[in-house]
Amino acid sequence: MILYDRERELGYLDTRYRSRRAELVVLYGRRRVGKTTLVYHWVQDKPHLFFFATQDDNATLLRRFSHLIHQASETPPRPTPPYPDWEAALRALVPLAQERRFVVVIDEFPRLVAAHPPIASYLQMVWDTALQHTQVFFILTGSLLSVMRQQVLAPDAPLYLRHTWPFELKPLTVADLPAFFPTYTPDEIVETYAVLGGMPYYLISVDRQADLLTNIRRAILEPTGPLFNEIPLQLHLEMRGMEITLYRRVLQAIAQGAHTRAEIMQAAALQGKNLSHYLLTLHEMGLVEIRHPLERAGGTRRWARYHLQDPFLRFWMRFVAPRQAELEIGYGQDAVWNEIRLQMPHIVAPIWEQIARWHLLHHARQSGMPPVTEVGSWWSKRAQIDAVGVDRRTRSVVFGEARWRQDPFTPRDLERLVDRGQQWLRGSDAHWDVHYAIYARHISPALQELAARERKIHLFTPAVVLGRVVG
């Protein structure tokens, strides 16, 4: 297993490991985000037991887990029958962690729950009575977020408050992609991120030596490509027993530009269906993001818009899903590929806005802007601002515009952003420290000269964004 750019997450695990107190870590996140790779890599130089829960029956899983416990013993005994039940197996971990730090990993815990539903209650009992008094470092991982919440994270879950560290493993950011594509230019890195997103599996499924459009044709549009059926496969795994067809219609509608409830209802042809149920479920699964305007007065929730969080899900639903049947028989690749090539600026534009908001939240201080505690976008009936960063305590605000076009951003464009910012400020910037952040492929010389004189104007090209993060 190859691990890319997870130094921060490895550092988090190392810090908790050094504490020596009993830990029950819940590591969760979407499929393909790299949970198994991260944990497997981390445990290699430590005394450990790594149990991968397969889709088997309870007896098979208990037998495999028992075998691993026997293997981990200081003096492995002769072939021993499996433990009679999960309580006995879990209690057998106590001697392994009594005098030393010992890591126990149950990877894909939801599969074990499916095979033996009481397992979380048994773990709760053994943790309360024995394991919490040892030096065990217990890790549960899971991709089915609904099961992880039901069994571990929810207030009525058996393991609620027993876990000492719930940690969601997030996808990689655009700043991590140069490690995968070292020869790409900053613009090409951003374009690649807009298509593939930050799931490590997607990034290693393409040819790092080929250009993006070639990779799109080979890996996504060809029926033999590694990513051609990736989204249907993941939805099938995540939505067993659910109305997958209806959920796909909702996802496809959002990917094609329907962002309000009325637009989604019409585009997905869901008249008579409970749209709120589908949107809430997709939100809980981490697939749909609910956005509200970031207002001057905090706490206001109105005009919700719905967006797909994962760039690759958005790309696949927009270009592959409507033509999947044709593409499966080898028909129409050239037409779809040409459409993607011509639409590339429009594919990248909303993702470039996301990158601007991410950069504003995490790197404002290093970039000379006031640090902000909230970041989002803002819109009204008359105007929209791509990125707004606010610190209400210090009354600092950054208004940002993200543009992915060939024509340069000019002082006149900045004036329009200032006008929209005044609408957010309701006509008065008194007592507010106001800054402006421009995220664009090209900046006009006149605007560069203006920014050199005005400390509250900040300019960011793709090269600067990636340079700020990497360097």
> Whole-angstrom Cα distance, residue 358 to residue 249?
29
Local confidence pLDDT in tens for the 471 residues of the chain = 556 678 889 999 999 999 889 999 989 888 888 999 999 999 999 999 999 999 999 999 999 999 999 989 866 656 678 999 999 999 999 999 999 999 999 999 989 988 998 998 899 999 999 999 999 999 999 886 666 666 676 676 777 777 777 888 999 999 999 999 999 999 999 999 999 999 999 999 999 999 999 999 999 999 999 999 999 999 988 887 788 999 999 999 999 999 999 999 999 998 878 899 999 999 988 899 999 999 988 766 678 999 999 999 999 999 999 999 999 998 999 999 999 999 999 999 999 999 999 999 988 888 889 999 999 999 998 899 999 999 999 999 999 999 999 999 999 999 999 999 999 998 766 789 999 999 999 999 999 999 999 999 999 999 999 984 433
Question: Would residue 318 count as lying in a domain?
Answer: yes
For residue 343, the one-letter residue type is Q
CB 287 within 8 A of CB 279: no
Strand-pair partners of 56 = none
Spacing of C-alpha 183 from chain mean position: 25
pLDDT of residue 180: 94
Asked if residue 1 belongs to a domain, the reply is no
- DSSP per position, 165-234: EEEEPPPPPGGGGGGT-TT--HHHHHHHHHHHTT-HHHHHTS-TTS-HHHHIIIIIISTTSTTTTHHHHH
Determine the structural domain holding residue 452 and report its residue range.
353-470
> Residue 43: enclosing H or E segment and its boundaries?
helix 35-43
Whole-number pLDDT of residue 146: 62
Residue 17: the pLDDT is 95
Last residue of a domain, one of 152, 168, 184: 168
Residue 449 lies in a domain: yes
In a domain, 23, yes or no: yes
Q: Can you give the pLDDT at residue 406?
A: 93
Note whether residue 138 is domain-resident: yes
Domain boundary among 168, 185, 209: 168
Cβ–Cβ under 8 Å, residues 179 and 148: no
Residue pair 17/137 in contact by the 8 Å Cβ criterion:
yes
In a domain, 433, yes or no: yes
- The region that residue 272 occupies, defined by phi over 0 for left and psi between -120 and 50 for alpha, beta otherwise, is left
Please check whether residue 287 is in contact with residue 363, taking contact to mean a CB–CB distance below 8 angstroms. Answer: no
Identify the CATH number of the domain in which residue 16 sits: 3.40.50.300
Token digits of residue 213: 């459009």
Q: From CA 169, how far away is CA 238, in angstroms rounded?
A: 17
C-beta of residue 53 within 8 angstroms of C-beta of residue 143: no
Distance CA 90, CA 77 (A): 18
Residues 16 and 158 reside in one and the same domain:
yes
Distance separating alpha carbons of residues 227 and 46, to the nearest angstrom: 35
* Chain center to CA of 322: 25
Domain total for the chain? 3
In this prediction the pTM is 0.90
pLDDT at 167: 85
- We report the CATH number of the domain holding residue 188 as 1.10.10.10
- Burial label for 281, CB within 10 Å (0-12, 13-18, 19+), is middle
